[in-house]
Amino acid sequence: MRHIWSLILGVLFAPLAWFLIAFGQSATSRGQSLSDFKNDFILGGLLIVGVGLLLGLIGSLRTSPLGALIASLVFLGASGFMIFAPRYALDVFGDARKIGAYDINLATPLTTGVLGVVGGMLLLSAFSPARWRAKPAPAAPAFDSTPATSESVEWKPQPEAWASLPAAPASTADSGTDKSS
């Protein structure tokens, strides 16, 4: 069941992360200026940090690595497409969409290499052997079902433990009689 949930998260988060990275890069580049610090720069930075946290959940939690593997294959496949056929990749991903005052271009994370870096990180996180194993079942308490018998229990005196005990008080019945006469 954990593989199915991880697969669903990977399939949903990969395109969402790509869009939010493109949105963040658009907002950051729009608000970037040496003389004027705009809120667009903060918005873009927050979007990129938020995407990093979401992808970090997919990449690092002890869930199935299938979601991280799917997201990494999407990102690395698109990056490979951009490297080996840039003209076709820009035709597919290069259309800018306007959302509010921002021009969102899905090719921006490809041309800057951000998706390749994120895809590589997710791919490495998917190959952790501990993530592919199921959680171990809790160990049952050790219980000896054999009944204790006099043959199975051997008693050994421990005089060193008796030495630490306080001495017994003298009996009052013995103190009144004189045995010397």
What tens digit of pLDDT does each residue of 59-85 get?
777 777 888 888 899 999 999 999 999
Amino acid identity for residue 165 in this structure: L
Amino acid identity for residue 42 in this structure: I
Mean pLDDT of the chain: 78
Answer whether 114's CB lies under 8 Å from 21's CB.
Answer: yes
d(CA 28, CA 48): 9
Share of the chain above pLDDT 70, in %: 69
CB-based contacts of 64, cutoff 8 Å, min separation 6:
2, 3, 5, 6, 7, 131, 132
What tens digit of pLDDT does each residue of 19-32 get?
888 888 888 876 65
What tens digit of pLDDT does each residue of 127-150 get?
877 766 666 667 666 655 666 565
pTM score above 0.75: no
